[in-house]
Amino acid sequence: MKTLDNPAEFAGKRVLVRSDLNVPLDGTTITDAGRILASAPTLTSLAEAGAKVIVMAHLGRPKGAPEAKYSLAPVVPALAEAVGRPVAFASDTVGEDAKAKAAALQDGEVLLLENLRFNPGETSKDDAERLAFAKELASLADVFVSDGFGVVHRKQASVCDVATLLPHYAGGLVQAEVEVSRTLLEDPARPYVVVLGGSKVSDKLGVIASLLERANTLVIGGGMVFTFLKALGHGVGASLLEEDQIDTVKGYLKKAEELGVEIVLPTDVVVASAFAADADHWTVPADGIESSPAGTSALGLDIGPESAARYAEIIKAAKTVFWNGPMGVFEFEAFAGGTKAVAEALTKAHGGVVDGRLTVVGGGDSASAVRNLGFADEDFGHISTGGGASLEFLEGKELPGLAVLED
């Protein structure tokens, strides 16, 4: 794929950039600006080179029509600060305001279009409807740059169809994400440890199957732990459980044994009487959840301290670590210990690429967790902006938003 090796060649041209600015909001307050900060270098380099930069992105999941709560307007000040210059805002995507402001752009100026998903053509399953919207977007510019790694696994107008209509390039963020992901998929330094958390096994079926063929050790945390524990015959109380995945998990455990891959499960867990920040809670053996004071009503909300310490040692001994998914309900202080321990271990596992060692935080909730818990992006080798895209890449799937950039 062509990359932005010489931004100066875009001087005076209108460059349409697909960024990922899908940041979490509390009202109109951005609670994690990570994706904005990650998008800024590509936009800045183009603007500084004299390009007329038109940024398109989405926020949330509106259903093909404008919704005030999903407007990108609150993103404008943060984006302007990140790129170090004013950012104009169009109140529509391909309407009169967008067309007028795109036409009026001067060299080095930046314009952000309103939420792409306010138009039904963006996410339409109908190829013709999607292409029609893409043609309207493409009419605004001379060149397309794909820089939203978090959406390259989606077959959407601004991700795929626009690339078929304009000269196209991969932005710096997409280029960096692809390079890191290829290292994890094809040539990781060993020992290669994968830490998987999050709520459901079913969200990670494909990536678990793929990683069993590639990783040396899989460390399991989060809500998915309880389906693994149930598969081993342990009671899990009222903890999150996917009954329909128990046989699948048994298959993973058997395959791991055949391949010589270690699947590490917690030896202790933190259980609570209710799903609440101030709920009574206890640390119990992983095979003794229903022996806690909460009995069969016990809710497992985090890995225990013994497990957290063990996980940290495994991480520190690795040459390559990929982490996707928190170890517990990190939003509640009482159940954040496991996630904190994993994050801290990653920062001490050489903090990036040193002597061939790489630590990667796989986007999504993991990225939010490390920032909300007070860790800095530079403490890690790489923080991905694409949770779902990262997982699908590691499954070995072809991602449509990357495939369309290949020439």
Q: Is the dihedral of CA 61, 55, 173, 346 positive or negative?
A: negative
Q: Is 13 a catalytic residue?
A: no
Spatial separation of the C-alpha atoms in residues 208 and 304, rounded to whole Å:
23
Of the residues 14, 18, 35, 319, which is catalytic? 35
- For the question of residue 206 being annotated catalytic, the response is no
pLDDT(355) > 80: no
pLDDT digits (tens, 9 = 90+) for 185-221: 998 999 999 999 988 888 888 889 999 999 999 999 9
Q: Does 35 participate in catalysis according to the annotation?
A: yes
Order of strands, sheet of 14-18, starting from the edge strand that comes earlier in the sequence: 87-89, 110-112, 52-56, 14-18, 143-146, 168-170
Beta-carbon count within 10 A of 114 CB: 25
Q: Cite the annotated binding site for substrate by residue number.
A: 20-22, 35, 58-61, 117, 154
Identify whether 364 is a catalytic site residue: yes
Q: Annotated binding site: which residue ranges?
A: 20-22, 35, 58-61, 117, 154, 204, 300, 331, 363-366
Helix axes 305-316, 337-348, angle to 10 degrees: 20
Q: Which of 200, 214, 250, 357 is catalytic?
A: 200
Average pLDDT of the segment spanning 213-239: 96
DSSP class of residue 255 equals H
Among candidate residues 223, 337, 388, 401, the one labeled active-site is 388
pTM, rounded to two decimals = 0.90
Please state the rounded mean pLDDT for residues 275-283: 97
> ∠21-221-396 over CA atoms, to 5°?
60
Q: Which residues are annotated as a binding site for ATP?
A: 204, 300, 331, 363-366
Asked if the model's pLDDT at residue 352 lies above 70, the reply is no
Selected catalytic residue, list 364, 381, 386, 401 = 364
Write down the mean pLDDT value for the chain. 94
Q: Which helix (H) or strand (E) holds 184?
A: helix 172-186
Task: Indicate if the pLDDT at residue 354 is higher than 60.
Answer: no
C-alpha distances (whole Å) from 383 to each of 69, 177, 323, 346, 399 are 27, 9, 10, 11, 19
